[in-house]
């Protein structure tokens, strides 16, 4: 029984994240998508933890071995608590590499029993990030097809209010 944890801020989840989650769910027996509270990231997340969790739950409802939960601890502690032996992350361009490499090294240093594995993004989503999506939507650009429809609608609503 191999359980993997797939962590992130997911503010909001993109179709790129969902592609990685779906591919991880085909490899592992169970995938626990873990949404970091991340109150200190930049000016704070656009969507609340409950909204971010709920977007992913809806978008992964068809994947029987995927569950979604919030967390506010060290990732390695969460993995231990869940008895997950693998941390799965998506890797896009080289620009992701340094930060991901650092996190993987530190997590390995804390607990060498938990491996980090990367799933490489498909070319279609190589350029896609939550921040780019927020920036485009913030300037009234169209992000349809880059995020689930529900997220697209909520982005328009949220950013319209903020303007």
Residue 120 contacts ligand PNS per CB under 6 A: no
Binding mask 81-110 for ligand PNS (x = CB under 6 A): ----------------------x--xx---
By the 8 A CB rule, do 151 and 54 touch? no
C-beta of 27 vs 74, nearer to ligand PNS: 74
Number of residues engaging ligand PNS in binding (CB under 6 A): 9
Task: Note whether 83 and 113 are within 8 A (CB).
Answer: no
In 3D space, the residue among 32, 34, 14 whose CA is nearest the CA of residue 24 turns out to be 32
By residue count, the chain amounts to 163
Residue 157 CA to chain centroid, in angstroms? 22
- Of the candidates 41, 48, 131, 160, the residue annotated as catalytic is 41
Q: Does 116 bind ligand PNS (CB under 6 A)?
A: no
In the annotation, is 92 catalytic?
Answer: yes
From the candidates 25, 34, 52, 130, which is the catalytic residue? Answer: 130
Contact between 122 and ligand PNS (CB under 6 A)?
no
- Could you say which of 4, 5, 7, 49 contacts ligand PNS (CB under 6 A)? 7
Site for ligand PNS in 33-72 (CB under 6 A): 36
The widest CA-to-CA distance across the chain, in whole angstroms, is: 48
Q: What angle do CA 3, 9, 14 make, to 5 degrees?
A: 90
CA separation for the pair 51, 21 (Å, rounded): 18
φ, ψ at 88 (rounded to 5°): -110, 130
Cross-strand bridge partners of residue 33: 6, 68
Q: Of the listed pieces 4-12, 49-57, 115-123, 143-151, which binds ligand PNS according to CB under 6 A?
A: 4-12
Among 25, 34, 52, 92, the active-site one is: 92
Q: Which residues bind ligand PNS (CB under 6 A)?
A: 7-9, 36, 74-75, 103, 106-107
Catalytic site positions: 17, 41, 92, 130
């Amino acid at each position: 029984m191999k359980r993997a944890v797939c962590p992130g801020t997911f503010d909001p989840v993109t179709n790129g994240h969902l592609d990685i989650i779906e591919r991880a769910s085909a490899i592992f027996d169970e995938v626990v998508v873990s949404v970091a509270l991340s109150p200190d990231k930049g000016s704070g997340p656009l969507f609340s933890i409950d909204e971010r969790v709920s977007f992913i739950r809806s978008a992964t409802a068809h994947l029987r071995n995927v569950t979604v939960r919030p967390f506010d601890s060290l990732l390695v502690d969460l993995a231990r608590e869940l008895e997950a032996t693998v941390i799965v992350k998506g890797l896009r361009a080289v620009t992701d590499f340094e930060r991901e490499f650092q996190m993987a090294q530190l997590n390995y240093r804390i607990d060498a029993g938990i491996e980090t594995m990367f799933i490489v993004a498909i070319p279609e989503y190589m350029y896609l990030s939550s921040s780019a999506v927020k920036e485009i939507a913030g300037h009234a650009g169209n992000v349809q097809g880059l995020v689930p429809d529900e997220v697209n609608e909520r982005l328009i609503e949220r950013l319209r209010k903020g303007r």
